Amino acid sequence: MQALYAQLLVGLINGSFYALLSLGLAVIFGMLNIINFAHGALYMMGAFVAYFLLSLGGINYWWALLLAPVIVGIFGMILERTMLQWLTGLDHLYGLLLTFGIALIVQGVFQNYFGSSGLPYAIPDQLKGGLNLGFMFLPVYRAWVVIFSLVVCIATWFLIEKTRLGAYLRAATENPTLVRAFGINVPRMITLTYGLGVGLAALAGVLSAPINQVRPLMGADLIIVVFAVVVIGGMGSIMGSIITGFALGVIEGLTKYFYPEASNTVVFVLMVLVLLVKPTGLTGRAA
């Protein structure tokens, strides 16, 4: 039973990353009509920024949790201003190709300097150790990742669905021209949205640094799984992305316990099943 609970916890952690990443993809797709292939590379950058802050500047985990998303978010906004904005009005696929190119560049540069092996990132002192819950041993850091991700996801949902800023954002997703006519600076909102989505990816990167090590290709395979998550959940609903992300992480964890051979593929197999039964995805609108 111990092993089952342990795999469930791993599943919840992976689910946190799926949720944070697919949330960012959904927010970006809503505003920019672009599937951000660079999302995995920016997630990796988040982990690396945390690593640099600690090893070069002596800045600890807690500051990295705040600074890395901001730094990578600014990098993202620069990308949006210099490149992505020129794709408005073109076919969707150009956005995918451009961000794929950006992902190759970022990953290639990091691979050149850091190879493919992982760099260690220590768990902060306050989150070391574990709790004995009787039925299992719960490492504090892992519990922290799940709870903190959940809080960030809910906060993002609240920001978009319940605040005035979120209302502008949703309105601009529906009809940018009309929202502009009301005197709202839509291009700036688009830039900020991209920064927000990218920041969420970087945050996931910082959270994963102590667990998965910091590797140049850490986001490359992850992003493909997240694409499958997005296909399953659909990008129409914020809450849908969050729930699908966590649920698929848990299912993956269960598979690792019951049938480990399929743990790499279970999300893709589920995607196929969902497409066969309900082609529009679980929460999705037709697209």
Chain residues in the site for other proteins (CB under 8 A): 29, 35, 83, 86-87, 89-94, 96-98, 100-109, 111-112, 220-221, 224-225, 227-228, 230-231, 261, 264-265, 268-269, 271-272, 275-276, 279-280, 287
Report yes or no: 29 and 162 within 8 Å, Cβ to Cβ.
no
Q: How far is the CB of 48 from other proteins (least distance, A)?
A: 15
DSSP 119: B
Of residues 1 and 93, the one with the C-beta less far from other proteins: 93
Report yes or no: 264 and 253 within 8 Å, Cβ to Cβ.
no
Q: How far is the CB of 136 from other proteins (least distance, A)?
A: 29
Q: How far is the CB of 249 from other proteins (least distance, A)?
A: 16
Amino acid, res. 121: Y
Of residues 61 and 80, the one with the C-beta less far from other proteins: 80
Q: How far is the CB of 32 from other proteins (least distance, A)?
A: 12
Of residues 110 and 121, the one with the C-beta less far from other proteins: 110
Distance of CA 156 to the CA centre of its chain: 12
Encoded tokens for 123: 């768990």
Is the dihedral angle over the CA atoms 267, 271, 274, 280 positive or is it negative?
Answer: positive
Of residues 98 and 250, the one with the C-beta less far from other proteins: 98
Following CA atoms 191, 194, 195, 199 in sequence, which dihedral angle do they give, to the nearest 10 degrees? 180
SS3 of residue 122 by DSSP: coil
Of residues 128 and 285, the one with the C-beta less far from other proteins: 285
Encoded tokens for 29: 């797709």
Q: How far is the CB of 198 from other proteins (least distance, A)?
A: 17
Of residues 53 and 72, the one with the C-beta less far from other proteins: 72
Q: How far is the CB of 40 from other proteins (least distance, A)?
A: 11
Rounded alpha-carbon distances, angstroms, from residue 118 to 44, 109, 110, 115, 124? 11, 15, 12, 8, 18
